[in-house]
Amino acid sequence: MLWYKGWLETRSRFLTCLIVVTGFCAVFIHYTQGYLRPEWRVDFHRLMLVAHQYLVIIWIISVVLLGMGGLVREKANGSSSLTLSLPVSRAHLLGVRVAIGVLEAITLGVVPWGAIFLVSFASGMPIQFQQARFYALLLVSGGLVYFAMAVLVSSLLEGEYTAPAVAFGLVFLTMILFDLWLRDLNLWRFVSGDFYLDRNTYLLSGPFPWKGTVACLAVAALMLIASVKVLEEREF
Amino acid sequence: MRNTPVILTHDLTKSYGTVMAVHGLNLSVEPNRITAFLGQNGAGKSTTIKMLLGMIRPTCGEGTVLGKRIANAEENREMRRKVAYVAENKPLYSYMTVEQTVRFASSFYSDWRADVATKLLSEYRLPNKRKVKSLSKGMRTKLALLLAFARRPELLILDEPSEGLDPVGIEHLLQTLVAQSADGVSIFFSSHQIAEVERVADHVCILDNGRLLVNASLDRLLQSYRRIDLAFRFPPPEQEFRIAGVERIRISGNALSILASMNAEAVVERAHDLNAVSVEVAPVGLRDIFLETVKEN
Amino acid sequence: MFFKLNPTTGQPLYLQLMQQIRHAAETGALQDGEQLPGIRTLAEELVVSPNTVAKAYSELEHEGILELRQGSGAFLTLKRRTRSLTDHVQVARRRLRELIEQLREHGLMDEEIRRAFEAELLYPAEVVRK
């Protein structure tokens, strides 16, 4: 029943974020009403891009929060002795937590884009499914790196506020540092669609960057493996 | 019929920097017994137990529980299936209800007894739908203990189980321990309350400053320890009584008060040989045995 | 049949239980053939380890006062040997009663008498000590 426990632990965070993200979509819907003319197509696409930028910010905040918790936090709360006495390995415990977080993260990425896609039909300016899919995939595949990083931070730091603060700090820091020295590898720009944007149509164009995606997922996986190692070494 | 020790450690040591929390522990806990791990706060009892359960890694030394090596993560996990453990702080998940907690715990163990769980829930008067964070400390303690008592494990490990319980709760706890023992469960519990240990323990291990000072059956201890009060007509020859088994000698005027952990007969014989005018021998309770052992250390 | 065990006296609980059962047998509070509570039942009632009760029963079986029947429980058996033993005990107690009365008349307190007995019982160290 570790899945049930994990759900109980993340339920309120997840639902709050889902409501915020859905609320954001509602705002977007409100704005599209003013762009119903075909000649304003490019502006409509630019609006979609802007929507995505906001979505990226909200989404990253959400998954960093979802990545918090776990055994180290339980130690501070006093329940780690119960969890660790279960006949379950620490890797398994982390695995379930990560799986729940990943599913929740994907949901938080797919639901808004699915909603935007559906609503665009209702408002008479249907966007291509391919566009919605492009945005959503970039967000989730690249963004899971942020989630994995949050999981790693929460496996190292006990504090209820220090862990997320450090995690957000790292997000911010990497965004700036990569932009200064390794622009082409800046995850934020990957996730927000910056690398694939056609500045004439304001659509994401070109083939889907599978290599970039795989690279991101590999980095995320490495961080999760590191988290397992950290937990296995740690004393409770 | 199993007769291998349920807990066996060899030179188990845990140090934090220069502080030795546990020092060269050679523990051997027999099955089908109630073994008490007695020691003051900070003696190293919880650290030892956590090492046994894989939560803390020993600095050196090794141990097995139910034949499985404690330092091997896989074997330790296998062993935990058959061990019920309640930590000192009676851990629970504050966001779960009583019902959810019980369901959660039961899902991990094949030795779970639902009938016992139901019985204990009503005996302890635990409200099913109430969240753990809204329970009183006593109720939380009882729920945490229930998670172990509703099972029939091979080994039950309890760290300071009576802490947080009122006298009625303590009585019920001891009754449950006795019932579990009668069911064939080996019990290893740590405590600093002499009263509970005196009543139900078959075997006593006394830990002080990380060292195991006493490891004996309680009956054997009570039958060997003696207080011998001697009176002489002259200043007593104290050095004559520094023989094997004598733990402590106190002098007051012409009187000697000797605490012997064994060999009391030899002391009495010596006293007669030295013309003591009065020889009184009295048994020693566990409290005094403990205090003396710890003071000596 | 009510037993009262006191853990703080320093005397092992199983010995206390044995004494009390023997006393009950001698005075007739427990009759020949009567069944004693099962080990588990008695342990739960007295809140002591089942091993304590088991040890007491086992030792009493050695002495011939109890018979442990597999599956049925513990039964009091005052066999011929133990009946005469009981007689011996009764005679011994009469003598002790007289002696104790004398010692009391001499001004000894009960506590002093008890401790003197303890001391004398220990000396000389006999091989009976197990």
CB contacts of B73 in chain A (<8 Å) are 89-90, 232
pLDDT value of residue C125: 45
Q: Looking at the complex, does the CB of residue B26 fall below 8 Å from at least one CB of chain A? A: no
Average pLDDT over residues B184-212: 95
DSSP chain C: ------GGGSS-HHHHHHHHHHHHHHHTSS-TTPEEPPHHHHHHHHTS-HHHHHHHHHHHHHHTSEEEETTTEEEE---HHHHHHHHHHHHHHHHHHHHHHHHHHTT--HHHHHHHHHHHHHSS--TT--
CA B261 to chain centre: 20
CA atoms within 13 A on the CB side of A65: 18
* Topology of the domain covering B225-296: Alpha-Beta Plaits (3.30.70)
Mean pLDDT for chain B overall:
94
On whether residue A16 sits in a domain, the answer given is yes
Euclidean distance between CA atoms C82 and C76, whole angstroms: 11
On whether residue A169 sits in a domain, the answer given is yes
Chain B residue with Cα closest to A92 = B77
CATH 3.30.70-classified regions of chain B: 225-296
On whether residue A64 sits in a domain, the answer given is yes
Global pTM value: 0.89
Counting every residue, how long is chain C? 130
Chain B residue with Cα closest to A80 = B91
Q: pLDDT tens digit string along A71-117? A: 999 999 999 999 999 999 999 999 999 999 999 999 999 998 888 88
Cα dihedral sign, B227-B232-B235-B240: negative
State residue B216 phi and psi, 5-degree precision.
-155, 160
CB contacts of A232 in chain B (<8 Å) are 73
Q: pLDDT tens digit string along C85-97? A: 667 777 888 888 9
Q: By the 8 A CB rule, do A212 and A190 touch?
A: yes
pLDDT value of residue A33: 64
Q: Minimum mean pLDDT among A116-125, B153-162, B194-203, C22-31: which range? A: A116-125
Closest CA to A45 of A128, A108, A118, A119: A128
CB–CB contact B57 A232 (8 Å): no
Euclidean distance between CA atoms C77 and B218, whole angstroms: 29
Chain B residue with Cα closest to C16 = B219
Closest CA to B153 of A86, A6, C79, A227: A86
On whether residue A102 sits in a domain, the answer given is yes
CB–CB contact C12 B218 (8 Å): yes
Residue B257 is encoded by which pair of tokens?
A: 């008060």
CATH 1.10.8-classified regions of chain B: 90-152
Query: Closest to A1 (Cβ–Cβ): which among B55, B77, B103?
Result: B103
Closest CA to B51 of B28, B33, B78, B69: B69
pLDDT value of residue C2: 87
With contact defined as 3+ CB pairs under 8 Å, the chains touching C are B
A-side interface with B, Cβ within 8 Å?
Answer: 1, 4-5, 8-9, 77-90, 232, 235-236
Tell me which residues of chain B, numbers 197 to 236, contact chain A at a CB-CB cutoff of 8 Å.
none
Q: In the structure, what pLDDT confidence band is assigned to residue C126 with cuts at 50, 70 and 90?
A: very low
Euclidean distance between CA atoms B194 and B200, whole angstroms: 11
Contacting residues for A27 by C-beta, under 8 A, at least 6 apart:
none
Residue A80: domain span: 2-231
pLDDT value of residue B297: 74
Q: Looking at the complex, does the CB of residue B250 fall below 8 Å from at least one CB of chain A? A: no
Closest CA to B161 of B148, B150, B151, B179: B148
Pairing relation of β-strands B7-16 and B60-65? antiparallel
On whether residue A203 sits in a domain, the answer given is yes
Residue B270 pLDDT > 50, yes or no? yes
Euclidean distance between CA atoms A175 and B100, whole angstroms: 42
pLDDT value of residue B30: 96
DSSP C73-96: EEEE---HHHHHHHHHHHHHHHHH
Residue C13 pLDDT > 90, yes or no? yes
With contact defined as 3+ CB pairs under 8 Å, the chains touching A are B
CB contacts of A85 in chain B (<8 Å) are 53, 80, 83, 85, 87
Residue C128 pLDDT > 50, yes or no? no
Average pLDDT over residues B210-217: 95
**Virtual torsion, Cα C87, C90, C91, C93, nearest 10 deg:** 160
pLDDT value of residue B6: 96
Euclidean distance between CA atoms C40 and B140, whole angstroms: 29
With contact defined as 3+ CB pairs under 8 Å, the chains touching B are A, C
CATH 3.40.50.300-classified regions of chain B: 1-82+155-167+183-219
Residue C34 Cα, gap to closest chain B Cα (Å): 23
Residue C129 pLDDT > 50, yes or no? no
Q: Which residues pair with B282 in a beta bridge?
A: B227
On whether residue A168 sits in a domain, the answer given is yes
Euclidean distance between CA atoms B288 and B149, whole angstroms: 32
CB contacts of C47 in chain B (<8 Å) are 171, 174-175, 178, 199-200
Chain C residue with Cα closest to B217 = C12
State how many domains chain A has: 1
Average pLDDT over residues B33-46: 94
Average pLDDT over residues B255-283: 92
Residue B179 Cα, gap to closest chain A Cα (Å): 23
- Higher-confidence residue: A115 or B170? B170
State residue B94 phi and psi, 5-degree precision.
-65, -25
Neighbours of B98 (CB within 10 A): 23
CB contacts of B155 in chain A (<8 Å) are none
Q: By the 8 A CB rule, do B200 and C58 touch?
A: no
Residue B99 is encoded by which pair of tokens?
A: 């019902």
CB–CB contact C118 B282 (8 Å): yes
pLDDT value of residue A35: 62
pLDDT value of residue C130: 36
CB neighbour class for B110 (10 Å; exposed up to 12, middle 13-18, buried from 19): exposed
* Topology of the domain covering B90-152: Helicase, Ruva Protein; domain 3 (1.10.8)
pLDDT value of residue A135: 86
Q: pLDDT tens digit string along B124-134? A: 999 999 999 99
Domain range B1-82+155-167+183-219, CATH class: alpha beta
Q: In the structure, what pLDDT confidence band is assigned to residue C121 with cuts at 50, 70 and 90?
A: confident
Query: How much is the ipTM here?
Result: 0.91
Pick the residue of B78, B83, B85 with the most A CBs within 10 A to test the interface with A by mutation.
B85
pLDDT value of residue A123: 67
CB contacts of C14 in chain B (<8 Å) are 219
Cis peptide before B91 (omega within 30 of 0): no
